[in-house]
């Protein structure tokens, strides 16, 4: 590893990982601001701001931005999440200066032209409308709302159409000024890049940015419950979710290992039992994600309305079995191997490496080495996984169902009730 970290005079962090065998560089600015930092009235503004950043600056039109990056064969894009917004590029060796100047221009000098804003407003409204035709999008939005009701984490990243219709250039400029602080920003680059030249260039471009804005977010309060949508689809979609550790907790690695063996691949318990042995669905998987102060362990599956109850029962029975008996040594080994392989394979991608470094610095204030991550994964024991499953069952889950029409409400309630029954059974066996 040839990682280097510097901090500009205003607090912005610059991190590089030189990969001399590559002929390209991936770089970007990761900002520690996302939809969870929005008020109810602001919901959706982070995503709108990300879109508008590409729509023209004081010196470049939207077309000029696109032409300038593509003139060097590069790519420029962005993404908004719950806790971060990222603006990133990939270019050929030697063109990282072009990419950095474009990134600085769209972040520091966007015009938010009223004409461009109206055009992009319609684009985002169409994006929101498209999600209404995607049951997997709807069901995850609903389960987040059930898990964190009345909180920014329970709201959508895109925001409601009513908010998008009224956001003005003043709103966007105000949010940018108050939330995009240099001490909450990381410039990360990986590939054919030199550290010192990038730092000097970044200081020249970003050195005037000041930390006068807002810092912090509302503490997450997981509650759990049910949500549903009576809209019909060809399949009924279920997401069953449990509160999980934040990425700052040591148990985060237990959650990742558990998710892998429970529903992380073709050899996982849920895939084998629900699909291969019983034919209840085409796809079923689990995922575990963490934020700064909370996390979720979620199971997602789609099946026919008439088989949803059986699918819920199988999921509950498998979770109960892990809580009561723990996983086998072979299951644990496979889950750890998958995690470690994914980690090490990601190091071969410059874009994945740049993102990983940026997120680690925002989350932990340091780079977490692959050796340390692997040690944490290897340290998870059979007993750790069993206790983790018991804790999942000990607290109220969140469940969302869409696609089953009027039956969606009943099925969501049945999922929560089934997990409660599993908690009783698990406690009885382990007492």
* Residue 75 pLDDT: 97
Q: What angle do CA 120, 126, 131 make, to 5 degrees?
A: 130
Instruction: With cut-offs at 50, 70 and 90, classify the pLDDT of residue 95.
Output: very high
Q: Which residues contact 103 (CB under 8 A, 6 or more apart)?
A: 27, 28, 29, 76, 87, 88, 89
Is the confidence at residue 170, as pLDDT, over 90?
yes
Q: How many residues does the chain have?
A: 431
| CA–CA distance, 231 with 245 (Å, rounded to integer) | 33
Instruction: With cut-offs at 50, 70 and 90, classify the pLDDT of residue 421.
Output: confident
| CA–CA distance, 28 with 102 (Å, rounded to integer) | 10
- pLDDT, one tens digit per residue, over 333-385 is 999 999 999 999 988 899 999 999 999 999 999 999 999 999 999 999 999 99
* Residue 215 pLDDT: 61
Taking alpha carbons only, the member of 251, 263, 262, 293 closest to residue 391 is: 251
Is the confidence at residue 240, as pLDDT, over 80?
yes
Taking alpha carbons only, the member of 358, 244, 241 closest to residue 291 is: 244
Helices 350-364 & 329-346 angle (0-180, nearest 10): 110
User: Which whole-number Å values give the CA distances from 71 to 65, 76, 92, 109, 133, in the listed order?
Assistant: 10, 12, 11, 21, 37
| CA–CA distance, 375 with 372 (Å, rounded to integer) | 5
Proportion of the chain above pLDDT 70, given as a percent:
97
Q: Phi/psi zone of residue 122: left (φ > 0), alpha (ψ -120 to 50 degrees), beta?
A: alpha
| CA–CA distance, 275 with 281 (Å, rounded to integer) | 5
- pLDDT, one tens digit per residue, over 139-150 is 999 999 999 999
Q: Which residues contact 76 (CB under 8 A, 6 or more apart)?
A: 54, 65, 66, 69, 88, 89, 99, 102, 103
> Tokens 């520091």, residue?
108
Q: Which of 23, 38, 42, 50 is catalytic?
A: 50
Over residues 79-107, mean pLDDT: 97
| CA–CA distance, 153 with 357 (Å, rounded to integer) | 24
| CA–CA distance, 239 with 231 (Å, rounded to integer) | 16
- pLDDT, one tens digit per residue, over 184-206 is 999 999 999 999 999 999 999 99
108: number of Cβ within 10 Å: 16
Q: Which residues contact 429 (CB under 8 A, 6 or more apart)?
A: 324
* Residue 112 pLDDT: 95
Please give the mean pLDDT across all residues of the chain.
94
Is the confidence at residue 34, as pLDDT, over 90?
yes
Does 50 participate in catalysis according to the annotation?
A: yes
- pLDDT, one tens digit per residue, over 382-415 is 999 999 999 999 999 999 999 999 999 999 999 9
- pLDDT, one tens digit per residue, over 288-309 is 999 999 999 999 999 999 999 9
For residue 19, give the 3-state DSSP assignment. coil
The predicted model scores a pTM of 0.93
* Residue 1 pLDDT: 55
Whether 137 and 131 have beta carbons less than 8 Å apart is answered as: yes
């Amino acid at each position: 590893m040839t990682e280097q970290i510097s901090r500009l005079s205003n607090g912005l962090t610059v991190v590089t990982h030189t990969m001399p065998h590559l002929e390209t560089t991936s770089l970007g600015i990761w900002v520690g601001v996302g939809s969870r930092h929005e008020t109810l009235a602001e919901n959706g503004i982070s995503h709108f701001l990300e879109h508008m950043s590409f729509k023209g600056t004081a010196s470049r039109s939207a077309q000029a931005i696109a032409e300038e990056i593509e003139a060097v064969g590069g790519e420029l894009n962005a993404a908004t999440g719950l806790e971060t917004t990222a603006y990133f590029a990939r270019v050929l060796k030697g063109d990282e200066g072009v990419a950095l100047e474009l990134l600085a221009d769209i972040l520091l000098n966007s015009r938010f032209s009223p004409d461009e804003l109206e055009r992009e407003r319609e684009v985002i409204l169409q994006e929101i409308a498209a999600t209404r035709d995607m049951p997997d999008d709807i069901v995850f939005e609903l389960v987040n709302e059930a898990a964190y009701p009345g909180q920014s984490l329970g709201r959508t990243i895109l925001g409601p159409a009513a908010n998008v219709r009224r956001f003005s250039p003043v709103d966007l400029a105000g949010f940018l000024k108050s939330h995009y602080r240099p001490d909450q920003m990381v410039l990360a680059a990986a590939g054919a890049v030199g550290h010192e030249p990038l730092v000097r260039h970044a200081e020249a471009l970003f050195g005037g940015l000041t930390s006068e804005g807002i810092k912090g977010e509302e503490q997450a309060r997981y509650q759990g419950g049910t949500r549903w949508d009576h809209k019909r689809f060809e399949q009924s979609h279920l997401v069953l979710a449990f509160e999980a550790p934040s990425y700052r907790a040591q148990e985060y690695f237990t959650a990742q290992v558990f998710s892998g063996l429970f529903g992380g691949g073709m050899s996982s318990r849920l895939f084998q039992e629900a699909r291969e042995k019983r034919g209840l669905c085409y796809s079923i998987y689990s995922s575990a994600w963490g934020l700064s102060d909370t996390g979720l362990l979620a199971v997602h599956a789609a099946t026919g309305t008439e088989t949803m109850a059986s699918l819920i029962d199988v999921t509950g029975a498998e979770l109960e079995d892990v809580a009561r008996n723990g996983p086998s040594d072979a299951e644990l080994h496979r889950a750890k191997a998958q995690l470690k392989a994914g980690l090490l394979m990601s190091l071969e991608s410059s874009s994945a490496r740049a993102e990983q470094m940026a997120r680690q610095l925002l989350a932990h204030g340091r780079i977490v080495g692959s050796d340390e991550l692997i040690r944490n994964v290897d340290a998870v024991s059979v007993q750790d996984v069993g206790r983790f499953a018991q804790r999942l069952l000990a607290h109220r889950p969140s469940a969302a169902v869409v696609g089953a029409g009027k039956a969606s409400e009943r099925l969501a309630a049945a999922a929560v009730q089934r997990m409660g029954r599993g908690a009783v059974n698990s406690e009885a066996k382990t007492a």
